[in-house]
Amino acid sequence: MKWLAFVVLLAASPALAQQSPLDNISYTALAHAPVGTWADYLMTKEGESEVITVRYQLMKRDAKQAVLEVDSKTPIGRVLTRVQFTIAGSKWTLTRAQVKIGDIDPIDTPLPDSGHTTDGKDALLGKPAGKDTVTVKAGKIAAQHYKPTRRGKGEMWASDDVFPVGVVKINDGDGSTIELVGTGKGAKSVF
């Protein structure tokens, strides 16, 4: 059950261990990604055999709005998440989040009281720690290294050229890893 909570929180929650998982995406990449692009990720936890696959896909983006869907295949079933942002200049505000688990109809999830707004500059990814070439299942990728995360541990690699969300690899410092498996075009809505 903790994996299900992690996946749902990954895209829609106001807090995952005291930070929003939406802080861990590159809004620069999202702002430039072609609509219909997708990225697949593999999520593992040290000492556990369960593996989760996650697909982020950009379904809509124009000057006023962006819609990102996340399709997660977990050991306990499929979890679909859809997040909608309102865009005003460089400000991105999370305005709606929905989750669909199994055959149930999508439900709206509560948004943070203060809202989730970013200035689009990716400042919340962490402190830049230089550029690295990172080897992940998708291959060798040049990426910006960020360390530490807002929780004070862990590290992340991101590239504005990895569409739609820029994430290449995340180590949370507690044994969980998210790594890029592949990217592509032609995403179809899961809602």
Q: Is residue 189 part of a domain?
A: no
- Give 25's pLDDT tier (boundaries 50, 70, 90): confident
Q: Is residue 40 part of a domain?
A: yes
Count: domains in the chain: 1
pLDDT of residue 123: 52
**By residue range, what is the domain housing residue 134?**
2-184
Is pLDDT at 7 greater than 90 in this prediction?
A: no
Lowest-confidence segment of 36-45, 73-82, 115-124, 137-146 by average pLDDT: 115-124
Q: Whole-prediction pTM value? A: 0.83
Mean pLDDT along residues 73-88: 88
Q: How far apart are CA 94 and CA 118, in angstroms?
A: 9
Give the domain CATH number at 72. Answer: 2.40.360
Q: Is residue 190 part of a domain?
A: no
pLDDT of residue 104: 86
The β-bridge partners of 174 are: none
Q: Is residue 191 part of a domain?
A: no
Q: Is residue 174 part of a domain?
A: yes
- Give 128's pLDDT tier (boundaries 50, 70, 90): confident
Q: Is residue 65 part of a domain?
A: yes
